[in-house]
Amino acid sequence: MDPIRIAVVGLGKIARDQHLPAIRGNPAFSLAATVSPDDPGPVGVPHLARLEDLLNKGPAVDAVALCTPPQVRYGLAAMALKRGVHVFLEKPPGATLSEVAALRDRAAKVDATLFAAWHSRFAAGVAPARAWLSDRKVERVSVTWREDVRVWHPGQAWIWEPGGLGVFDPGINALSIITHILPRPVFLKTATLSIPENRAAPIAADLQFCDTAGADIHMDLDWRQTGPQSWDIEVETDAGTLKLSSGGAVLTLPTGTEHADDLEYAGLYARFANLIRGGRSDVDIDPLRLVADAFLRGRRETVAAFHD
């Protein structure tokens, strides 16, 4: 079976650190091209400034991985799908729920694969956590997702603009995990969004959710953390407490702690290849819906200006 010819569109940190190595490590894919108006791309790989140029002039591709900021992703994805090209959407899958739904419908009409990729769901501890929780009664959940924006997103102005999500850019990773591992649906009750006086998106958020059985779920998001970073989820159940730490890589159960290697993006690309070979799409919008609910229902408070 011939490898899937894929182009990576957008060559920021996530593309270079995660996407390119994952593609090179998966024999189901061959890196056919890269696209960026600013970055020349890796040596030896055909490079174009615009996706339109790639689709019109070649080299031929079967799929694209869109690693651009979410505000511009809809037009790129629609352009690719119009040509019957499969599309991998880095998280978040779009700037709005409506545009992601439109892309899902368009992909179905042209029989192309659309994959909304939630990389944190492929962290080593997530699948066994989901299995362990499947027959437990969840009593309480605490999510602490605190990191230093200057370390992880230095100088990225787009992330502070409408559609860039602010602290929900990392926070949506936690939401992608809890919507995947908890056995019942989750919805928002209250939220407070802390927005710097010189920015359009929040730098911190305090959120209260619950599941449909009434279990309390509290989330603490903050981009002002210095020193050790915190990416932790604790789930109290009738059988003891489950903890996912290091963004889901480390799972602690009442019986002990499990560690495994970080293979998130390898898992994403294995999933994408299987979807393409099977003629299917995977467009879960639950994490983005919860973010949208926070912006819809959350109380806003102005905090001190933020400068990189």
Are 96 and 295 within 8 A, CB to CB? no
Query: Position of tokens 């789930």?
Result: 235
Catalytic residue among 91, 109, 137, 243: 91
Those residues whose C-beta lies under 8 Å from the C-beta of residue 296, and which sit 6 or more positions away, are none
> Which residue(s) pair with 29 in the sheet?
4
How many residues belong to the chain? 308
Separation of alpha carbons 283 and 272, rounded Å: 12
Q: Give the integer Cα–Cα distance in Å for 234 and 232.
A: 7
CA angle 284, 214, 134 (to 5 degrees): 55
> The tokens 């490590």 sit on which residue?
25
**Tokens standing for 257?**
């702690």
The answer to whether the CB of 237 falls within 8 A of the CB of 129 is no
DSSP letter at 163?
T
Strands 186-196 and 63-66: unpaired
- Whose CA is closest to 141, among 203, 253, 220? 220
Angle between helices 126-133 and 168-181 (to 10 degrees): 40
Instruction: Find residue 13's DSSP bridge partners.
Output: none
Q: Partners of 89 in the beta sheet?
A: 66, 116
* Count of alpha carbons within 13 angstroms of residue 121, beta-carbon side: 21
Question: CB of 25 within 8 A of CB of 266?
Answer: yes
**Residue 82: active-site member:** no
Amino acid found at 52: E
- Which are the catalytic amino acids? 91
